[in-house]
């Protein structure tokens, strides 16, 4: 257990184990017979108690005792002494089981059940628990039981905080005590009538944990508690709107191309737009609920807001709606002015219950410029190539950056800071302290803590994420940790990716280094689309989506991505290159189902189909779900398909998309049967793996 090798069994131990196993089998057979026949005699309960003393993890045996207790309590009628005697016997049986295994879940759960009936002395139980915690002060099951018991006793948070402080003072390495303290403080921080301010509570905690860390820097318990304190210090209580698309003050110019006798085709920077579904996106700094037509009003438009992470019961950071600019006749005459009034009425709440408190207006205009075509040839898509010669940095006009590309300026309205001087001073003081500690000795967790503190300082100083002062130092710390602690390298690499993305989207100058004009666009396009190329950066995860809301072409090829979680925020995305990453299944591509504008997708040379078990389904909050209704057509799946599961997942993904081009070659899942299947389920497909379909 916990990395320790098993010791070889001695002959005398093997004999004892065999005798124990024989006794256990006999007791188990006897117990199952009693359970099946509902026999609750004294002899049956004694046999059950012996079984649980040998194997306290036998949950069915504990359930049998519950049924037996209910039987005897009903027979006791209204005799309180008889009822108490029944429950006292249960406590004795639990104690005997705990002597065998002090970390038995079944035993502790049964003891909770007995105590909840209200016939036992809670004060006596608390005294017994104190003795047990002296024997094993770090047993998390006893701490869990203590929280249950103190709730029944209605013991004050202050008394329990004193208890944890005493336990920590005895042993700084008692992680369970630190954890219990954090849970108590969460209650205290949420309470409205304590008379204590958050800064007073947390300041005392910083003093306590610093004593532990600086006394024994090699112990990790205090370090982890310190990381929790950082999160509590910088946690934004009232939610703020960090970005929107269109952004405030935008003047969007949409080309209206029309052949004689045909409906117009609207195009925004090379992206064909259905003006019945013109997206409006709001991006908050934390998950919120309550975004609706009453809390976010759009004048002259009747719209419905929806979250982009519907599986999250706490709300969503990203909310979107569609504007019908063209009307029923599909003809759009601009300019059209749109104004959003956000937070004029109460109702937008964070997951912690804090209300959105900064009403603001976002206004933008949409104008058309008409282009008349001689024929409908411009409606036919060309095959897109992601080859380097098709992209040119020199042709990007700096004057169009703010109107044509994803860079979102910091929201200027109501920008007064909600960050207190205490928060800033605390983080700065902690940074200075840990710099001093690391100058004495190199601690891995100390480097991680310093990196977290530096990121926290940036988050407090620049809540909209437009400046990243400490990013270079943070990257250096994380890269050092990747080398010195390879066991957790993936964790550090994810943080490196997030910091790197924040850095390159923090300024116009940084962003322009990754912007390229796509020269391979249809010659009839008015604009040559701009592509954000984030390829060859060794990215393992994605972030900074609030800066990328307006991206239409994105190149993420030649990275280390196993997930694209969060990409659903980029609702204007039309062309996406995910080739040469480490995407292991169609489940990992689930965010693409929310991108109605996506036309060209390249997922070639990944690992789709290479893994027999798709663990992504269990690691993330929004995987392809088995409970979604899918019209299953057996004619779509080849009868000789090697793995029908891959086809089911592909149906879930691709049926929701309207792709005209797909490149998927170079994945284990792809063969002739699978290619034919893709053509069947995507009638809009024109190009597959570089070949035009007939």
| Overall average pLDDT of the 100-125 stretch | 91
Residue bearing the bigger pLDDT, 656 or 329:
656
pLDDT band at 378 (very low <50, low <70, confident <90, very high): very low
Taking the domain 501-692, which CATH number applies? 3.80.10.10
Separation of alpha carbons 276 and 284, rounded Å: 25
pLDDT band at 302 (very low <50, low <70, confident <90, very high): confident
Residues whose CB is less than 8 angstroms from the CB of residue 285 and which lie 6 or more positions away in sequence, other chains included: 236, 239, 240, 241, 242, 317, 463
Does residue 614 carry a pLDDT above 50? yes
| 172-223 pLDDT tens trace | 889 999 999 999 998 888 776 555 688 888 999 999 998 888 888 888 899 9
Separation of alpha carbons 256 and 370, rounded Å: 5
CATH fit for domain 241-379, picks 2.60.40.1220, 2.40.30.170, 3.30.43.10, 3.90.1560.10? 2.60.40.1220
Q: Where in the chain are the domains?
A: 14-234, 241-379, 421-462+467-496, 501-692
What pLDDT is stored for residue 225 in this prediction? 93
What is the spatial order of strands in the sheet that 296-298 belongs to?
271-273, 265-268, 251-258, 360-372, 336-342, 296-298
**Cα→Cα distances 389→56, 271, 342, 395, 575, Å:** 69, 21, 44, 13, 17
What pLDDT is stored for residue 413 in this prediction? 43
pLDDT band at 483 (very low <50, low <70, confident <90, very high): very high
| 422-451 pLDDT tens trace | 889 999 999 999 999 898 888 899 999 999
What pLDDT is stored for residue 592 in this prediction? 94
| Overall average pLDDT of the 650-668 stretch | 91
> Would you say 84 and 69 are in contact if contact means Cβ atoms under 8 Å apart?
no
DSSP string, 538-554: --SS---GGG-TT-SEE
What pLDDT is stored for residue 249 in this prediction? 85
Domains 14-234 and 501-692 share a fold: no
By three-state DSSP, how is residue 349 classified? strand
**Pairing between strand 661-663 and 336-342?**
unpaired
Q: Which of 544, 636, 620, 630 is nearest to 584 (CA)?
A: 620
- In Å, how far from its chain's centre is CA 486? 24
| 633-645 pLDDT tens trace | 656 666 655 566 6
| Overall average pLDDT of the 226-239 stretch | 86
Q: Where would I find the beta strands (DSSP E) of 433-556?
A: 515-518, 530-533, 553-555
Residues whose CB is less than 8 angstroms from the CB of residue 335 and which lie 6 or more positions away in sequence, other chains included: 365, 366, 367, 368
In CATH, 14-234 is 1.25.40.120: yes
Q: Which of 596, 577, 579 is nearest to 684 (CA)?
A: 596
Residues whose CB is less than 8 angstroms from the CB of residue 498 and which lie 6 or more positions away in sequence, other chains included: 541, 543, 544
Residues in the chain: 694
Query: Hey, which residues does 256 pair with through a beta bridge?
Result: 266, 370
**Cα three-residue angle 376-381-386, rounded to 5 degrees:** 155
Average pLDDT, the chain: 83
Does residue 335 carry a pLDDT above 90? no
């Amino acid at each position: 257990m916990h990395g320790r090798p098993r010791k070889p069994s001695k002959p005398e131990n093997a004999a004892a184990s065999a005798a124990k196993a024989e006794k256990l089998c006999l007791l188990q057979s006897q117990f199952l017979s009693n359970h099946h026949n509902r026999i609750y005699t004294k002899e049956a309960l004694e046999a059950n108690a012996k079984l649980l003393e040998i194997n306290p993890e036998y949950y069915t045996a504990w359930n049998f005792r519950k049924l037996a207790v209910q039987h005897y309590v009903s027979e006791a009628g209204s005799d309180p002494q008889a009822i108490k005697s029944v429950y006292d016997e249960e406590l004795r049986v639990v104690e005997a089981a705990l002597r065998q295994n002090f970390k038995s879940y079944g035993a502790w759960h049964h003891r909770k059940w007995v105590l909840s009936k209200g016939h036992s002395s809670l004060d006596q139980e608390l005294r017994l628990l104190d003795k047990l915690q002296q024997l094993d002060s770090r047993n998390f099951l006893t701490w869990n039981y203590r929280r249950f018991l103190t709730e029944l006793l209605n013991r004050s948070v202050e008394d329990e905080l004193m208890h944890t402080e005493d336990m920590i003072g005895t042993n700084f390495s008692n992680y369970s005590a630190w954890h219990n303290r954090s849970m108590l403080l969460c209650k205290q921080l949420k309470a409205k009538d304590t008379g204590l301010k958050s800064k007073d509570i947390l300041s005392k905690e910083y003093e306590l944990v610093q004593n532990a860390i600086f006394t024994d820097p090699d112990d990790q318990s205090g370090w982890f508690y310190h990381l929790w304190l950082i999160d509590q210090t910088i946690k934004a209580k009232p939610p703020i709107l960090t970005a929107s698309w269109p952004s405030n003050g935008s003047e969007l110019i949409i080309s209206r191309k029309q052949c004689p006798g045909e409906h117009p085709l609207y195009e925004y920077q090379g992206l064909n737009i259905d003006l019945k579904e013109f997206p409006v996106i709001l991006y908050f700094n934390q998950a919120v609920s309550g975004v609706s037509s009453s809390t976010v009003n759009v004048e002259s438009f009747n719209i419905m807001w929806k979250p982009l992470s519907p599986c999250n019961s706490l709300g969503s950071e990203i909310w979107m709606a569609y504007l019908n600019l063209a009307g029923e006749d599909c003809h759009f005459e601009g300019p059209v002015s749109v104004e959003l009034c956000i937070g004029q009425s109460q109702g937008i709440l964070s997951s912690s219950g804090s209300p959105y408190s900064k009403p603001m207006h976002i206004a933008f205009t949409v104008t058309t410029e008409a282009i008349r075509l001689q024929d409908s040839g411009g409606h036919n898509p060309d095959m897109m190539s992601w080859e380097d010669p098709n992209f040119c940095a020199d042709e990007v006009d700096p004057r169009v950056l703010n109107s044509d590309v994803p860079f979102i300026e910091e929201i200027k309205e109501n920008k007064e800071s909600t960050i207190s001087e205490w928060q800033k001073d605390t983080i700065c003081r902690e940074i200075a302290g840990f710099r001093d500690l690391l100058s004495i000795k190199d601690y891995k967790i100390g480097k991680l803590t310093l990196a977290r503190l530096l990121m926290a300082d940036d988050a407090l100083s620049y809540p909209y994420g437009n400046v990243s002062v400490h990013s270079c130092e943070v990257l250096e710390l994380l890269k050092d940790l990747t080398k010195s602690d390879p066991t957790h390298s993936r964790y550090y690499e994810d943080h490196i990716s997030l910091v790197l993305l924040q850095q390159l989207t923090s300024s116009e100058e940084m962003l322009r280094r990754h912007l390229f004009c796509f020269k391979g666009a249809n010659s009839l396009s008015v604009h040559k689309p701009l592509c954000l190329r984030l390829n060859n950066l060794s990215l393992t995860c994605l972030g900074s989506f609030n800066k990328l809301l307006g991206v239409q072409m994105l190149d993420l090829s030649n990275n280390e991505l196993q997930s694209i979680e969060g990409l659903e925020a980029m609702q204007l995305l039309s062309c996406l290159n995910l080739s040469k990453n480490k995407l292991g299944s169609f489940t990992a591509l689930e965010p693409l189902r929310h991108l109605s504008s996506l036309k060209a997708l390249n997922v070639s040379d990944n690992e789709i189909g290479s893994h027999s078990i798709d663990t992504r389904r269990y690691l993330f909050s929004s995987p392809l779900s088995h409970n979604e209704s899918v019209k299953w057509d057996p004619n779509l799946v080849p009868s000789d398909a090697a793995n029908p599961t891959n086809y089911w997942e592909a149906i879930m993904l691709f049926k929701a998309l309207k792709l005209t081009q797909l490149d998927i070659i170079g994945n284990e899942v792809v063969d002739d049967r699978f290619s034919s299947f893709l053509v069947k389920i995507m009638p809009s497909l024109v190009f597959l793996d570089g070949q035009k379909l007939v």
